[in-house]
Structure 1
Amino acid sequence: MKFKFKYIDKLEPEIKATVEMFMGSRVHDALERLYKDLKHQKKPTKMELINFLENEWKKQWDDDILIVRKEYTQQNYLDMAKKFVSEYYDYYEPFDQATTIGTEIHIQIKLDKEGKYLVQGYIDRLDSKRDVYEIHDYKTASNLPLQEYLDDDRQLALYAIAIKEQYREAKDVKLVWHFLAFNKELHSERTDEELQKLKEETIKIIQEIEACKEFPLKVSPLCNWCEYKPICPEWKHLYEIETKDVPEDDDGVKLVDEYAKFKSEEADIQRRIEDLRDRIIAFAEKEGVNAVFGTEQRAKIWSKEVHKFPKTTDYNYQDFVDMVKKLGLWNEFSRIDSFKLEKSFENKEFHGEIQELLRKFAKKEKIERVYLGKK
């Protein structure tokens, strides 16, 4: 849905930025300044770089920037940014590891020969060591990914495609991530075969997006950092009631509160019913009767021993299925798992032809449920 808001509807977000986004931009600015100065044979001191960071922070700060984690302040995030830049400076000084070609380089990646499918992006820094090129990416995130994640990363790998086309002398292109919160540098590489496969996969993803007519909503903890949260159907009502003097007077609030009250009572009643049922059965067994009488109602106890065959989760289920097929009973007593089939169909797990054949039998129905959960 965020993709739709941003790229299709082209909506202006109500939240300008989160503090994490702002901090990341200011750190990028400082490191871009460092390497631009170095290209001009000027080596700024660490303190000059920190001062530049602080000045840019103060100049560009806006009180509308969202701080999700209320236990931390703007100053905490500024201190983090200063720490990132300071540790980076100490680690790489005197900055002679390679030759810097450029910073914040805008590139276009051509995915097919005709140029129908193009992807663009910005490289934080491009370095070279003779015929080996390095794509550097600065990360201020508070998590350190596993190597497997980086080996599957699309962004820098797509950048590598553009660099190999623009710089024909490049024998290798290395992907380098700087995880500044941990003062760590992580690497990955791609073969030409892997890059070709990535092109094909990316084209397929683009085609799927272009053909997409529905954009399902997915609620997760990351919603707290989404700049479109105030207009998202999942959260819009929350923002509306927060602007009211008496939120409790809102019709929606009243309906949900009453619904939640009855649902809570329903659960308690159901537990009580099950407890009473067990006690009635126990009483009937003790007294040797098949019916227990109240003042106006009669409780009839019915019991019967039956045979149950293995379920799909039982260890011997497959053996049971094989035997039923062998006996020629499968067609008569098996049935389609409609729920599983419908889920796979909705998720487009079948190949095109199969999907289209199934579509002839699919009938659209609107299913409506209400789920309760904490805000």
Structure 2
Amino acid sequence: MRVSYSKLDTYKQCPRKYKFYIDKAPQDPSRTLALRFGSAVHAALEFAYAKRYKYPSPERVINYYRGLMQQESDPQVLKLFEKGIPALEKYLAKNEAAHMSIVEVEKKFMIEIGRGHQLEGIIDRLDMLPDGSFEIIDYKTGQIPDAESLSKNWQLAIYQFAKQRKLQTSRIKASLVYIAFDGHKLTYQFGKNELERIHSEILDLIAKIEADNVYAPRVSALCNTCAYQPICPAWTHKYNIKDQVLTGKIKDTDVIDIQSKIDKLLVLTSTIKKLEKESKQLKEIVAIFGKENNMTRLFSDLGTVSLSFQKKRAYDAARIAEVLRENLLRKIVKTLDTKKLEKALPYLTQEERKQIEAFTTEKESHTIAVRPTIEENEDVEELLT
């Protein structure tokens, strides 16, 4: 199977989006604004740094970019493009091609990654640094992420892995350059173990993709900007129901009928949640009354309520974390599972057990069994009056 970072990342975002992507399904142009802007910025920077253009002046690069703007008519896209001009001017002024040692621009690659799979992609730019090492440059036109996320960035890892294999050197680092933020750069160099881990994760994901024959939609905040949203099963009822009625695919009466049932289901679900909250509050009140008066069964003409009271050990998680050895903390009480902790106590040192016992208290709890004798057809409101 031949994959790219874009394909892998798309599948991680949403399997159905991946299916649309590989099937080249039609996209909603109004939802590709950021993509078109990003493509134009990349094209302008390729024009600026590709040797075949003999390093044009910044003015020529901006004129080239303006030419790409003229191909657009959407006001929102043009507004984005306008913001790109000062950002490009600043970046070009700080990064003059004549003062850089550019090795490659928009270079394609394809590498074998095992199990019969190939990984392909295009690297925006590869520079040679003064010390003879290399830096991969990947342009970004979006927001700057948390720097700590770089170690998990598959795109940079894939690019570094591909170039290390081609150039036969590990002296390669990878950088994300944020054009809209004065060319702010986030740089990371993956170690051997990190590359092996990501390599393994990629193969696992490919296996998952190959086994997938459903491509279920994954609803998330990313849906708001997805170019396939109007044709996605998770959204077609919202966007295309009228068209399906007009074309005769669905009867108008069926739409009205199902809509009323959807509304009723939502109202019932909301009502159930409110009743569950009220029921929980009433149970607490009843439990307090039973405990204070030493009663374990309470009676009504409408049924019975049974109570049971227990005392359980409670642990001070923060204090225990301070005394446990790191390996035991990780293996035994990652989420402070009380049962696992109690099973682990015999394996701790005597001193550790004493310290843990010092942070142990008894916590009271109770269970309530409600057994109504009300028939389904009885009017509950009338019974309560």
Shorter-normalised TM range: 0.5 to 0.7
Name the count of aligned residue pairs.
Answer: 302
Residue of structure 1 aligned with 2:39, choices 25, 34, 53:
25
Deviation at residue 89 of structure 1 after TM alignment: 1.7
* CA RMSD, Structure 1 to Structure 2 (Å): 4.3
Q: Which residue number in structure 2 is paired with residue 260 of structure 1?
A: 266
Give the secondary structure class of the aligned counterpart of 2:145.
Answer: coil
Give the secondary structure class of the aligned counterpart of 1:33.
Answer: helix
Alpha-carbon distance in structure 2 between the residues aligned to 1:316 and 1:206:
34
Percent identity between the aligned chains? 25
Structure 2 residue 120 is matched with structure 1 residue 117: no
Deviation at residue 267 of structure 1 after TM alignment: 4.9
Deviation at residue 111 of structure 1 after TM alignment: 1.9
Task: Spell out the pairing of 1:212-361 with structure 2 (5 A cutoff).
Answer: 212-241=212-241, 243=243, 250-267=256-273, 298-299=301-302, 302=305, 304-307=307-310, 309=312, 317-318=338-339, 322=343
Give the secondary structure class of the aligned counterpart of 1:141.
Answer: coil
Q: Which residue number in structure 2 is paired with residue 180 of structure 1?
A: 179
Alpha-carbon distance in structure 1 between the residues aligned to 2:258 and 2:102:
58
Structure 2 residue 154 is matched with structure 1 residue 154: yes
Give the secondary structure class of the aligned counterpart of 1:160.
Answer: helix
Give the secondary structure class of the aligned counterpart of 1:111.
Answer: strand
The verdict on how the C-alpha distance between 1:198 and 1:269 changes in structure 2, with shifts beyond 3 A counting, is: closer
The verdict on how the C-alpha distance between 1:299 and 1:179 changes in structure 2, with shifts beyond 3 A counting, is: same
In structure 2, runs of 5+ residues without a counterpart are 1-14, 247-251, 318-335, 347-385
Deviation at residue 207 of structure 1 after TM alignment: 2.8
TM-score, normalised with respect to structure 2: 0.63
Structure 2 residue 82 is matched with structure 1 residue 79: yes
Q: Which residue number in structure 2 is paired with residue 43 of structure 1?
A: 56
Matching residue's letter, 2:69:
W
Matching residue's letter, 2:45:
L
Deviation at residue 181 of structure 1 after TM alignment: 2.4
Contact 1:247 1:253 (8 Å CA) reproduced = no
Deviation at residue 172 of structure 1 after TM alignment: 1.4
Q: Which residue number in structure 1 is paired with residue 322 of structure 2?
A: none
Alpha-carbon distance in structure 2 between the residues aligned to 1:247 and 1:309:
58
Q: Higher relative CO (CA 8 A, sep ≥ 6), structure 1 or 2?
A: 2
Alpha-carbon distance in structure 1 between the residues aligned to 2:163 and 2:271:
64
The verdict on how the C-alpha distance between 1:116 and 1:277 changes in structure 2, with shifts beyond 3 A counting, is: closer
Q: Which residue number in structure 2 is paired with residue 138 of structure 1?
A: 139
Q: Which residue number in structure 1 is paired with residue 95 of structure 2?
A: 92
Listed one character per residue, the Cα deviations across residues 50-98 of structure 1 (whole Å, up to 9, x for unaligned) are: 3322221221x365xxxxxxxx9334312222232122123223x3442
In structure 1, runs of 5+ residues without a counterpart are 64-71, 293-297, 326-375
Contact 1:106 1:120 (8 Å CA) reproduced = yes
Structure 2 residue 15 is matched with structure 1 residue 3: no
Alpha-carbon distance in structure 2 between the residues aligned to 1:50 and 1:197:
41
Deviation at residue 197 of structure 1 after TM alignment: 4.7
Contact 2:58 2:89 (8 Å CA) reproduced = no
Listed one character per residue, the Cα deviations across residues 226-257 of structure 1 (whole Å, up to 9, x for unaligned) are: 22222222111111136579999644433222
Q: Which residue number in structure 2 is paired with residue 349 of structure 1?
A: none
The verdict on how the C-alpha distance between 1:247 and 1:180 changes in structure 2, with shifts beyond 3 A counting, is: farther
The verdict on how the C-alpha distance between 1:187 and 1:302 changes in structure 2, with shifts beyond 3 A counting, is: closer
Contact 1:310 1:316 (8 Å CA) reproduced = no
Contact 1:105 1:125 (8 Å CA) reproduced = yes
Give the secondary structure class of the aligned counterpart of 1:43.
Answer: coil
Q: Which residue number in structure 2 is paired with residue 359 of structure 1?
A: none
Mean alpha-carbon deviation: is it higher for 213-222 or for 260-269? 260-269
Matching residue's letter, 2:175:
V
Q: Which residue number in structure 1 is paired with residue 64 of structure 2?
A: 52
Deviation at residue 303 of structure 1 after TM alignment: 5.4
Listed one character per residue, the Cα deviations across residues 103-137 of structure 1 (whole Å, up to 9, x for unaligned) are: 2111112224xx82210000111222363222110
